[in-house]
Homo-oligomer: A and B are copies of this chain.
Amino acid sequence: MFKDKDFLLVDYTEKVKESGEIIDTTLEEEAKKAGIYSEDKSYGPVLVILGQGDVVKGLEEALYNAEVGNEKTVEIAPEKAYGNRDNTKIKIVSLSELKRQGINPYPNMVLRLNDGGLATVKSVSGGRVILDLNHPLAGKVIVYTFKVEKVLDTQEDKVKALLGRWFKKVGDKISIDMLSEKKVKLTMPKELLLLENVQLLKYLAAKDIVKYVYPEGSVVFEEEFDSSLLK
């Protein structure tokens, strides 16, 4: 039995019950078998902080009751996964309007709308295009096979996991010194100092670290610029 704000490292494979199609997986082997392997993605267990909506509600509920090392499979109804289908989210637009936007729609194409949402093309005929604004997985029962690989207990392990969340693989190169119960010092590696968005990533990582690991505490970053960086 886990509780809010516990840090779990979780492996999972997610599929659509009806079709058996694998949507996502943290396991490299599974991704390759399912033909969805991507070189840009880093595989391996992901950090889930309970109660934060890091994963869909149904999986989160199952995780509260999970045990380390036991693989489980759960079926999740649409309302605790990607939502039920809403038939009022069907929209008819004119083909010429989409063509003016440079879009040549065909059935099952997924479009990005001007408001940022996604829509699936259901049909194109007679100059009319029927769009479905529901989430592509709305209405589907989702099956998760998952295993809690590890629970992170120490402040240091939690900080490390949060750095991985924000800095991806380079997060490992940030060195961590616990200065006190309330303060952690992070020494940044040289390769991160010249990244354009590093200040934003530091802000986001610090925010999570203070929220989950050092309430009322603080995060000190140390960065050393020397002549090797300063051409």
Binding site for B on A (CB under 8 A): 193-196, 198-200, 202-203, 206-207, 210-211, 215-227, 229-230
Contact = CB atoms under 8 A, between A and B. Distances in A.
Contact of A219 (B196, B200, B225): B225
A194 B216 CA distance: 19
The 9 closest A-B pairs by CB, nearest first: A218-B226, A206-B225, A207-B230, A221-B223, A220-B224, A199-B199, A219-B225, A218-B224, A210-B230
Contact of A222 (B202, B203, B215, B221): B221
B210 A218 contact: no
A64 to B, nearest CB: 27
Q: Classify the secondary structure of A's interface with B.
A: mixed
Contacts of A202: 223, 225
A124 B63 CA distance: 76
Contacts of A222: 220-222
Nearest to A204: B230
A66 to B, nearest CB: 30
